[in-house]
Amino acid sequence: MNNTLYEMLDDLNSFYKCSNVYQVAADENCRVLRMNGKGGEGFMTLYRVFEGIYLMYNDFHMQECDSDYQAADTLLCIDHCREGRIEHEAGHGIRYCMEPGDIRIDRRVHHKGVVRMPLSHYHGITIVFQTELAENSLRREVSSLDIDLHRLSEKFCPDDRECLIRADDTLNNVFQQLYNVPEQRRGDFFRVKVIELLLHMDVISPDSFAVERQYFSAVQAERVKAVHDIITAHPDRNYTIGELAELCGLPSATMRKCFKGMYGSPVYQFIRNYRMQYAADLLLSDRSRLIADIAQSVGYDNASKFSAAFRAVMGVTPQNYRKGGDRFGKG
């Protein structure tokens, strides 16, 4: 297929059947898409770098969304996770999570299906190469650049597998600079950084930097999500690991391992952090409510223990948090 991604976006809700994605703004070099999902929405701001090469900022605040998109072209995509977490399918019902600092390289073969944000938010960048168009435009625009995108695809994504990279500082630095782009020279900056990215990918070996990400089955993912839902629905309850494992039908060790893989922290740490954030919201939304009462609503009968736990997570006591709500961006 020789249509540019921009031309595909013009048929987003008809020919390409993306029923929950809508184009909300467009000009010659930028498109803004809105995606509706469970518990919120997301925005994808797409810039054209070269013909067939696009850079997209992803900002999602939702629990999950359905992706109807199935690659209709030969693609090579590079994703960088800046904040939050996002859960993808790797094929055959196997799932994995990207976390901050992760770089994923794939061909979008397994992109169709449910995409989840375990922490209800995700922020990052995607760089998309429509392989044929991208190679032709790079030859025209940067004739001295000898990059074979097909070879890079085979190098990083053999048998249509995804590659996850964490330990490469150079790749991470390129992406970090893309989050702070001077607006007046945005196009030039994008082009330089994309070329820098390609050159570095051309010389590194994926075996040296790829990380062994934890994979889990769709069944395990659903059961661990049930644990999360139980914890967040009842912040006043004190569950043991055994109780949570029994409720979701997984062995305790498996539940602990999968929970950390999906949500980024051990179960008890997640519970404590969630409780303190929940309490922080109550401190500001209901200022007449006694702090001792709020402590009980998150499972603490002892106000001094609650205060110590709150300070350990939020950096201040509950009293000072309530007084300085505006300074903490909550009031």
Give CA separation, 312 vs 273, 276, 285, 307, in Å.
Answer: 9, 9, 21, 9
Question: Is the same domain home to 304 and 233?
Answer: no
What integer pLDDT is reported at residue 166 of this predicted model?
A: 80
Residue 277 CA to residue 212 CA, distance in Å, equals 31
CB neighbourhood size of 211 (10 A): 13
Contact 58, 13 (CB under 8 A): no
What integer pLDDT is reported at residue 3 of this predicted model?
A: 58
Positions of the chain with pLDDT under 50 = 1, 11-17, 329-331
Show which of 248, 264, 280 is a domain's final residue. 264
Amino acid in the structure at residue 305: K
Reduce the DSSP state of residue 130 to 3 states and report it: strand
Give bridge partners of residue 50 from the DSSP assignment: 53
Domain that holds residue 238: 217-264
- CATH, residue 65: 2.60.120.280
Question: Is the same domain home to 223 and 251?
Answer: yes
Residue 37 CA to residue 270 CA, distance in Å, equals 24
What integer pLDDT is reported at residue 328 of this predicted model?
A: 57
Question: Is the same domain home to 256 and 293?
Answer: no
What integer pLDDT is reported at residue 331 of this predicted model?
A: 42
Question: Is the same domain home to 260 and 276?
Answer: no
Question: Is the same domain home to 187 and 157?
Answer: yes
Question: Is the same domain home to 160 and 21?
Answer: yes
Residue 321 CA to residue 259 CA, distance in Å, equals 30
What integer pLDDT is reported at residue 329 of this predicted model?
A: 46
Tokens of 98: 């990207």
Number of domains observed in the structure of the chain: 3
Question: Is the same domain home to 280 and 249?
Answer: no
Phi and psi for 59 in degrees, rounded to 5?
A: -135, 105
What integer pLDDT is reported at residue 232 of this predicted model?
A: 95
80-114 pLDDT tens trace: 999 999 998 776 678 889 999 999 999 988 767 78
What integer pLDDT is reported at residue 66 of this predicted model?
A: 82
- Beta-sheet pairing, 86-89 with 216-217: unpaired
Question: Is the same domain home to 192 and 323?
Answer: no
